[in-house]
Amino acid sequence: MQKKTQRSSLKLRPVAANYSLKDHIYPILKSAIMEMDIYSANANLRLDERQLAEQLQISRTPIREALARLEREGFVEIKPRKGVYVRPKTLPEVLEIVVVWAALESMAARLVTRVASDKDIASLRKFGVKNSNDSKRADIEEYSEANIKFHQRILELSGCELLSETADRLLQHMHAVRRRAMREKDRVSRSVVDHMAIIEALENREGELAAMLVRDHTMKLHDHIKNTWQELQENESTQTTR
């Protein structure tokens, strides 16, 4: 029986005539790719240049330029005579990103306790505890985005621009990973609890504790992905060979 393929086409709107195509097509495509559920087992990862041109109502030349840039950044893969495909990270790549991210954000948390104002630290609550009153029924997509903003805010409040920019480049590849992980094993409820503890440590200016809590929180994601996704890959591989 043939497996049903789920459509995962990009959600795009026509580009206004007054836009500079060279400047705007790249972020439009990049944003749309980041919104795709690329780690779904039946995701359609192929990008059709003609279809993209029709959706955006532009020629294919600026689209090719944007796709070439996205390939350099690791978002897509251009296969000669086959087409363009959104490129999910391999399991080892995802795990490596999480480890580096944990190290960067841990240092950021330590810096936050030294340089951020009380008001700025308090601003973390609107992201860190979103949907906490009923997290089991929370909208996963909404919480996932709030969760990413929570971590980005910690990096911003560190006052170290290079640290924040470096981590942000990693986080761009983590949106789809986060969305998938949040749907697994009640991670929303656990995430809310961790966020509350992190915020409390930051508010109390406990740098060592905040750094440890942030690192451990992110490494929980690492361990979850390593154990759960490895098991899923093995199961899928077994079913394929039968």
Q: What average pLDDT does this structure show over 15-32? A: 77
Report the pLDDT value the prediction gives residue 10, as an integer from 0 to 100.
72
Which residues partner with 77 through β-bridges?
85
User: What is the total count of domains within the chain?
Assistant: 2
* Residues across the chain: 242
Q: What is the CATH number of the domain that holds 126?
A: 1.20.120.530
> What domain range includes position 72?
21-86
- The arithmetic mean of pLDDT across residues 64-73, rounded, is 94
Query: Does residue 14 lie in a domain region?
Result: no
For residue 115, the model assigns a pLDDT of 98
Name the β-bridge partners of 138. Answer: none
Quick check: is 222 in a domain?
yes
- Banded model confidence at residue 190, pLDDT cuts 50, 70, 90: confident
Which regions of the chain does DSSP assign to beta strands (E)?
46-47, 76-79, 83-86
Long-range contacts formed by 177-180: CB under 8 A, 24+ apart: 177/39, 177/89, 177/94, 177/225, 178/144, 178/147, 178/148, 179/37, 179/140, 179/141, 179/144, 180/37, 180/39, 180/40
Query: Is there a single domain that holds both residue 158 and residue 233?
Result: yes
Q: Domain boundary residue among 86, 109, 140?
A: 86
Distance CA(239)–CA(242), nearest Å, equals 5
Same domain, 125 and 77: no
CA distance 198 to 221: 15
> So what's the pLDDT on residue 191?
84
Q: What CA–CA distance (Å, rounded) separates 121 from 198? A: 10
CATH of residue 66's domain is 1.10.10.10
Question: Token pair for residue 138?
Answer: 């929370």
* 133 in the same domain as 70: no
Please report whether residue 3 resides in a domain: no
pLDDT for residue 225 is more than 60: yes
- CB under 8 Å to 62, separation ≥6 — which residues? 21, 22, 25
Do residue 96 and residue 56 come from a single domain?
A: no
**How high does pLDDT run on average in the chain?**
84
